[in-house]
Chains A and B, each alone.
Chain A
Amino acid sequence: MVMSVFLYGLALFLILNLIAGLVRVLRGPTDADRMLAAQLFGTTGVGILLVLAEAQGLAALRDVALVFALLAALATVAFVRARRGPGSSEGEAGG
């Protein structure tokens, strides 16, 4: 019982962290700040999933966390690539 309260309290705290991160997405000030906030959502999400896996007794949630951990970096990679794509000063000329 105590354990369950502790775990769900932890999950709630981490979700509130996510919401705090959303403020950073809205405020910016630059797109890079927003992207980094999204990157940290991935990390927080992994944390929440691991806590919930324990709290709900669902081992499969660790697999979900694994997938998040693997793929979280990709959106940032696409963001960095897009910055160097067409429209930037060093963009290449056509395909």
Chain B
Amino acid sequence: MLEHGVDIVLAGSIAVVAWRVLLEPQLFRSMVLFIAMGLMLSLAWVRLAAPDIALAEAAIGAGLTGILLIRAAQTEAAQEAAAAAREAATSGWRRWFPGAGRIVSAAAALAFAAVLLVAVIDLPGEPIGLTEAAATEMEASGVEHPVTSVLLNFRAYDTWLEVGVLLLAAMGVLAIHRTYNLRSTRSEEHTMLVLTWLARIILPLAVLIAGYLYWSGTHQPGGAFQAGAILAAALVLMQLAGFRGVSGLSTLWLGAGLMLSFAAFLAVGFIGTFEGEFLRYRHATGELIILALELTIVVSTAVTLAALFAGAGSQSGDDSDAVRARTPPESL
């Protein structure tokens, strides 16, 4: 009875908060609401008995998303864009049709929701898909936790491409900077004693917990992406506390960190072709291969997400940046 009360209140408040996030005119308020929504979504995954996703949402939503949003909103570009949007909303034809854009997007979203609803109603009552096949093949995957065996073995191809998406995002940041590393990004010049102290406490704990999640991924909820996100948060904290985090890396090390996982999947994939299939490793060494691949995911995820943050904090467009952009990359 009370369980349903928890679910109903949670689902209702997620919908209301999402609505407020979209309609809130003030950027900062909307951001804080978005952080709160991340927490609520994590709780929703918990109620759906999906602790793996709750863990990912906690690691990324609670830590990095909030930081990235706050950082991005502080850049002059973001503030100019917000001002321009306000200007555009009150001038020209929009002045005569206030909320016209919202009505159009709301109509599109409702139409999409209706299609989804029809699809859900259409679903056959009995479970279909590969759940059973995956469960019987678990033995052969090399790990005991079903989520990990699917992500890193049965559907390794998908995971490889996801790693590729992260790599592309980091390449986008570097391309916007027109540089090969993030050394030119703004570093904190004032050191704050409290932050230095906090960093010294949190950094070792973050490494410990990331290691724990990485290792536990083989037999219980946990895993490489979550561990990487926690390490990324630690790197970002370093940067905020005035240490050189990921922006202290040279071109070679940054590139190696970003590409490590993608390259490792590729290498394992090609080794698999000798056994007849790309990315196939269903034998005794499965666990070792999975652990090695996950370790590369931890490193690459941490470096990539931290690079996204370092990039968001930069001041693009001023003269000194343009000068730096023309300087050739340092020798490897």
Interface residues in chain A, defined as those with a beta carbon under 8 Å from any beta carbon in chain B: 4-5, 8-9, 11-12, 15-16, 18-19, 21-22, 25-26, 28, 31, 34-35, 37-38, 41-42, 45, 48-49, 52, 56, 58-61, 63-64, 66-68, 70-75, 77-82, 84-87, 90, 92, 94-95
Q: Give 10 CB contacts A-B under 8 Å.
A: A19-B13, A22-B36, A49-B43, A58-B51, A61-B54, A63-B213, A71-B62, A77-B67, A81-B240, A85-B74
Residues of B contacting A34 with CB < 8 Å?
A: 28-29, 32
CB–CB B51/A42 < 8 A: no
Residues of A contacting B205 with CB < 8 Å?
A: 70
Q: In angstroms, how far is the closest chain B Cβ from the Cβ of A35?
A: 7
CB–CB A25/B36 < 8 A: yes
Chain A CB within 8 A of B151 CB: no
Contact of A41 among B1, B39, B237 (CB under 8 A): B39
Q: In angstroms, how far is the closest chain A Cβ from the Cβ of B147?
A: 11
CA of A8 to CA of B46, assembled, Å:
13
CB–CB A38/B32 < 8 A: yes
Interface of A is mostly: helix
Residues of A contacting B33 with CB < 8 Å?
A: 22, 25-26
Q: In angstroms, how far is the closest chain B Cβ from the Cβ of A82?
A: 4
Residues of A contacting B230 with CB < 8 Å?
A: 67, 70-71
CB–CB B76/A45 < 8 A: no
Interface residues in chain B, defined as those with a beta carbon under 8 Å from any beta carbon in chain A: 1-3, 5-6, 9-10, 13, 17, 20, 28-29, 32-33, 35-36, 39-40, 42-43, 46-47, 49, 51-52, 54-55, 58-59, 62-64, 66-67, 70-71, 73-74, 76, 184-190, 192, 195, 198, 202, 205-206, 209, 212-213, 216, 220-222, 226, 230, 233, 236-237, 240-241, 314-315, 318, 320-321
Contact of A64 among B42, B314, B320 (CB under 8 A): B42
CB–CB B32/A58 < 8 A: no
CA of A18 to CA of B290, assembled, Å:
39
Residues of A contacting B220 with CB < 8 Å?
A: 59-60
Residues of B contacting A56 with CB < 8 Å?
A: 46, 49
CB–CB B74/A67 < 8 A: no
CB–CB B10/A38 < 8 A: no
Residues of B contacting A95 with CB < 8 Å?
A: 184-187, 314-315, 318, 320-321
Contact of A75 among B2, B6, B13, B70 (CB under 8 A): B70
CB–CB A74/B42 < 8 A: no
User: Which 3 pairs show the lowest CB-CB distances between chains A and B?
Assistant: A75-B66, A71-B63, A8-B2
Q: Taking A70-B230, A82-B74, A95-B315 as contacts, is the C-beta distance between A61 and B36 under 8 angstroms?
A: no
Residues of B contacting A67 with CB < 8 Å?
A: 55, 58-59, 62-63, 209, 213, 226, 230
CB–CB A45/B43 < 8 A: yes
